[in-house]
Amino acid sequence: MTLQYGAQLSLGQIAPDFEAETTDGPIRFSDWAKDSWVVFFSHPRDFTPVCTTELGEAARLKPEFDKRGVKVIGLSVDPLDKHDAWAEDIRQTQGTALNFPMIADPSKHVSQLYGMIHPEADPSITVRTVYVLDPARKVRLTLTYPPSTGRNFHEVLRVIDSLQLTDRHKVATPVNWQPGERAIIVPSLSDEDAAKRFPQGWQADRPYLRWVELKE
C-alpha cells in the first residue's frame, strides 16, 4: 500500500510494515515496534531549526515515553550520514543526545507509504506528521503541524495517557483532561453495567453525561 501524496493514514488503520536504515541500524518496523506503543514523526530535511528542537525534546522525554511503554522513531528524507551529523548538532545545541532511531528515507519509500509528502511543495519536503500507534500497530492519533510551529510532545503524552486509560476502562476523557482527573462513562454502557464496573458510583449531570473517579 502506498498513499497518494498528502493522503495520510486514517484512525483505526493498521500502519504498513517496511524495512529501513536508521541511526540505530537496519530495522523491520513490525519487529522493532512489536508489543509497544509507538510515536512515529516525520521531518523535512536535516539541519532544520524547529525539528532540531523537537528531536531534542523527544530525547529529553524518553523516560516519560518508557514509563508508558512507548517507543519513539523519527524520519527524514536525508541519507544516514547526514542524520549522524545532525544528531551531533542536536546533542550540542539541545543538551540531549538522540536516544531513539531516525529513519533515513532518501528514496522516499516510507514517507510515501505513510502519506508524509506535502502535496503542494517540493516532494523532498515532508509534512510534519505525528502518528501514535498502539501495540497492534493500529493508528490511534494523527497530527499534522505547519513548518513554522514546533510540535507539543506533552500533548502527545497526554493523548497516550488518555488512550491507555480508555482502553482499560469503558470511559472517555473530557476536554482538557489531565491524568488523575475524572472521566466520562461511555454512553454505550448501561447504568446496570456501569454499576458493576464502577462500584464507587458516579455523578450524572445528564443521563448521557456520567462522571466517574478512577483509582488507578
Is 46 within 8 Å of 76 (Cβ atoms)? yes
Looking at residue 189, the DSSP 8-state letter turns out to be: S
- Residues ≥6 apart with Cβ < 8 Å to 155: none
68, three cell numbers? 508508558
The three-state (H, E, C) secondary structure of 37-102, written as one string: EEEEEECCCCCCHHHHHHHHHHHHCHHHHHHCCEEEEEEECCCHHHHHHHHHHHHHHHCCCCCCCE
Beta bridge partners, 82, equal none
**Nearest by Cα to 102 from 62, 149, 46:** 46
Edge-first strand order for the sheet with 37-42 is 27-28, 19-22, 102-104, 70-76, 37-42, 128-133, 139-145
Residue from 51, 58, 61, 77 carrying the catalytic annotation: 51
CA separation (Å) from 82 to 43, 65, 142?
13, 26, 27
> Known catalytic residue: 51?
yes
Catalytic residue list? 51
